[in-house]
Structure 1
Amino acid sequence: MTAAASSLSDTLYKKLEAQILAGKLAPGARLPSQKDVAETENVSRTVVREAVARLAAQGLVVSRQGSGVYVAETAQYKPFQVTRDELAELADVIKLLEMRLALETEMAGLAAARRTTADIGAIREALFAMESAFDDPMVAARADSDFHLAIARATQNHYYERLIEFLGVRLVPPRNMYLRDESEDAHRAYAAKVRAEHEDLVDAIIRMDVPRARDAARHHMQESLSRHSQLSAIALLRPGAQSGD
């Protein structure tokens, strides 16, 4: 498909998606034929096929052999997603951290109230793995996400577990994102600070101190948010930042 056709297909996809989500094309309704859509929108059938294929991939429409294409019964339910591409920009990382601030504060409180001995073992194991992976920021980030997943499991609420498992490493931007130009001493100082924040949180959960666990989680997330916000401010001051370079 040419670039022009791809652009037309994207426009048509967004138009049909908006009509479906707004209920103008109701669940169970049959879409007009590809021929009719092509004529109405003044595009080729190839453009229509591509747009419909994207709708099907998103679960918004279903094809019925010999009958046509229909709006899916669950079409107006749009699942929550955070894609890797969405977190390529620092501003989007900051938005995710803002969401985590509330999420992890309450999650820590529930973990402190409900944790088991096995949960404590899993949390400590993840914390040890994080400290052992200092030399590899990406491995450390995965261990960090495992740490938060272990806390989610300690809530005994599988919805927390599923959400944290879904977010995975998106939860923890690797430190080389914001320390890429810094010395090894700066990396070690950062790792030590984060370790102290984590250890305070773990201690509160072990002691089943709900208010302190909430405070420790909130402090940890606020510190992370502050670090990324400062980096964002510095980036805007760099030459060429206003032009998008």
Structure 2
Amino acid sequence: MKVTKAATLADDLVRQLETRIETGALNPGDRFPTEKQIEDDFGVSRTVVREAFARLSARGLLESRRGAGAFVAPAAHYRAFQLAPEEVEAIEDVLKLLEMRMGFESEMAELAAKRRSASDLAAMREALAAMDSSEEVDGSVMADAAFHAAIARATGNDYFERFTSFLGVRLVPSRKLYLQADDPETHKAHARTINQDHEAIYAAIEAGDPSRAFRAARAHMQKSFERYESLSTRG
């Protein structure tokens, strides 16, 4: 899967318009330049402008008013961290997110190894069993998400659980894209590798070994990064 030129141009345009908002060049309530003005100023097509506007709207930075144009949203300077589904459709975007998750997942596994309860371990084992028995993509994806959610709960910190849920929802379409890219036998081979990684994380958490859990989770995320990175080189 390759990133299109239009998508890359839209990324650049979004960043430049966001910078204008962050620096105060565009303030809440201000009208964005017209599509034609942006086309001329940035040297992009109308398709690129509309894609950028759609992304800004999804991020809560832009609101459209019928007959009046596009305006900077009133709460643009106070928005929470968000990820719209279309922002993680390209492999390059998934890779950026995985880079961020690498540290997050490692720290989470380390805390889980210190704090896990018997019920936490049971939930992890149940997810592992579901992954091992699943023969279709949707089942594998949901069991994967359930395993990471169980680790998050084991930290005893509800912010880990909430953020893991937030990220998991946005990564599911991309994981499905990856798993569906290959024939069933190749998918099974990938699933076995992923399950082995999860077993290593579980074993470290069960043993109450924080350092080992940290290393196992980081190794798992690194392999995930490399799997997605390989997609960018496919035709």
TM-score (norm 2): 0.69
Asked if the contact 2:61/2:72 (under 8 Å) is kept, the reply is no
SS in 2 for 1:212: helix
Q: How far apart, CA to CA, are the structure 1 residues paired with 2:89 and 2:136?
A: 20
- The alpha carbon displacement at 1:31 in A equals 6.8
8 A Cα contact 1:201 1:217, kept in partner? yes
Trace 1:199-214 onto structure 2 (pairs within 5 A): 199-214=199-214
CA distance in 2, matches of 1:106, 1:115: 14
The within-5 A match list for 1:80-99 is 80-99=81-100
Separation of aligned partners in 1, 2:112 and 2:72: 45
Tell me the residue number matched to 2:150: 150
Quote the residue 2:181 is aligned against: 180
Structure 1 residue 104: Cα displacement = 0.4
Q: Is the 8 A contact 1:101 1:222 kept in 2?
A: yes
Q: Which runs of 5+ in 1 are unaligned?
A: 1-13, 42-50, 62-68, 239-245
1:180 maps to amino acid: A
Change over 3 Å in CA distance of 1:17–1:102 after alignment to 2: closer
> How far is the alpha carbon of 1:23 from its aligned partner?
4.4
Matched ranges for 1:100-139 at <5 A = 100-133=101-134, 135-139=135-139
**Deviation at 1:129?**
1.8
Is the Cα contact below 8 Å between 2:88 and 2:171 reproduced in 1? no
Between the aligned partners of 1:16 and 1:175, the Cα distance in structure 2 is 32
Q: Which residue of structure 1 aligns with residue 45 of structure 2? A: none
2: CA distance between counterparts of 1:198 and 1:59? 38
Match of 1:99, as an amino acid? M
Alignment check: 8 A CA contact 1:178 1:228 kept? no
Which aligned runs of 4 or more in structure 1 are off by greater than 4 angstroms?
Answer: 14-21, 23-27, 69-72
Using CA pairs under 8 Å that are at least 6 residues apart, name the structure with larger relative contact order, 1 or 2: 2
Counterpart residue identity of residue 170, structure 2: R
Question: Does 2:68 match 1:58?
Answer: no
**CA distance in structure 2 between the aligned counterparts of 1:225 and 1:142, rounded to whole angstroms:** 19
Whichever residue aligns with residue 85 of structure 2, its letter is R
Q: Which has the larger Rg?
A: 1
Mark the CA change 1:114 to 1:140 in structure 2 (over 3 Å): closer, same or farther: same
RMSD: 3.4
Partners of 1:15 and 1:209 in 2: how far apart?
45
CA positional deviation for 1:20 = 5.6
Amino acid at match of 1:174: R
Q: How far does residue 143 in structure 1 lie from its aligned partner after superposition?
A: 1.5
Task: Count residues with an aligned counterpart.
Answer: 195
1:7-86 alignment, distance < 5 Å: 21-23=22-24, 58=60, 72=74, 75-86=76-87
Could you tell me the percent identity over the aligned residues? 42
Determine if contact 1:138/1:174 at 8 Å carries over to the other structure: no
How far is the alpha carbon of 1:229 from its aligned partner? 1.4
